[in-house]
Amino acid sequence: MYARTGSLFEKHFKRIRIHDENYLRHLIVYTHLNPKHHLNIDFETYEFSSYSYYLSTKSTIIEKDYILEIFDDLENFVFVHKSRNGFLTTKFTFE
């Protein structure tokens, strides 16, 4: 009647069980880089992202140790994010 949309009026998003740490790693990077990909905002300083919490020494409810472990360490966590970010900022042209 009022042309409203959203989860209250429509079906919820599809949930997929994560069975593989490689897929989990991919999803974490994908989620952290969404501000860059969709809004062209620096993902490292985006205030609504958990990325900065992984770099922080402050205690949080985030399972930092487990996530950093699947990236091997904090250094590799940062490296993977920056590498993928570099891919997003590269402009491809066809000649």
3-state secondary structure of 35: helix
> What is the reported pLDDT for 12?
67
Q: What is the pLDDT of residues 17-64, one digit of tens each?
A: 899 999 999 999 999 999 988 888 999 999 999 999 999 988 888 889
Quote the CA–CA distance of 63 and 61 in Å, as a whole number: 6
Token duo for residue 76: 């590799």
Identify the burial level of 80 via C-beta atoms within 10 angstroms of its C-beta, where 0-12 means exposed, 13-18 middle and 19 or more buried.
Answer: middle
Within 10 A of 77 (CB to CB), how many other CB atoms are there? 23
Q: Give this prediction's pTM.
A: 0.75
